[in-house]
Amino acid sequence: MHFHLPKPLHGWREFAGEVGIIVVGVLIALAAEQVVETLHWRHEVGLFRNSVDHEIASDLGTYTYRMRENPCVDARLHELDRLLASWRAGHPLTLTGPIGAPSSLSLETSAWQSRDANIVTHMPMQERLTIGRMYDEFANNEVHRLDEREAWLELGQFNGASDLDHADLMRLQGLINRARYRQAHITNNAMDYLKRAAAIGVKPIWDDFLPYDPSICKPILSTKTGTRG
């Protein structure tokens, strides 16, 4: 038994041409769809990157803001060193005002935390890793920021102190050391973060932050000495 394929109405050559036109049309449609999809994700990634860049810039601004207080904080810690030394020498000095504390600003992470998996997968791998590392380092530095704040809150318990025993002096020494340790780490980390951010074109912004409390810059150690009872 023999089977015979039906011949095209206008011949095989014309049929092949019509099929070719259809195939080319499908390929053009697929390519156009791919272009539209690429442009869509490029737009979405651009919007997301802008949000993340602004968030990183604002977070970096909190470090720049904090580091601007360093001279005043150093001066206050030096006053506390002198207070401690005076009590140990038996000629105690007194404080004429509250010890205060450097300003502590929390970080923003909502833009990065709200990232969509589809958007992230359309970002270059190196870019994803770089941004992710920045946020990991922000989280690590929060340990130092929060403990620094706690150390200064505990130092505030010495406001108006008029009688310090040995245990008090040991505790004061520990808190002074703790505050210096945290400040050093915050500052060193901030300098490193600023360099990393500059490498991806992000600069710190802090224009909308409230001014920090100026009381941390006012001397509070009395020059008068007494006799320890």
Provide the residue-wise pLDDT of the chain in tens; the chain has 229 residues.
555 555 555 555 665 666 667 766 666 766 665 655 665 667 788 888 999 999 999 999 999 999 999 999 999 999 999 999 999 999 999 999 999 999 888 899 999 888 888 888 888 888 888 899 999 999 999 999 999 999 999 999 999 888 899 999 999 999 999 999 999 999 999 999 999 999 888 999 977 777 878 889 999 998 766 555 4
pTM of the model: 0.78
The answer to whether the CB of 67 falls within 8 A of the CB of 187 is yes
187's CB contacts (< 8 A; 6+ apart) are 67, 70
Compute the radius of gyration of the chain from its Cα atoms: 33
Instruction: Tell me what pLDDT residue 35 has.
Output: 59
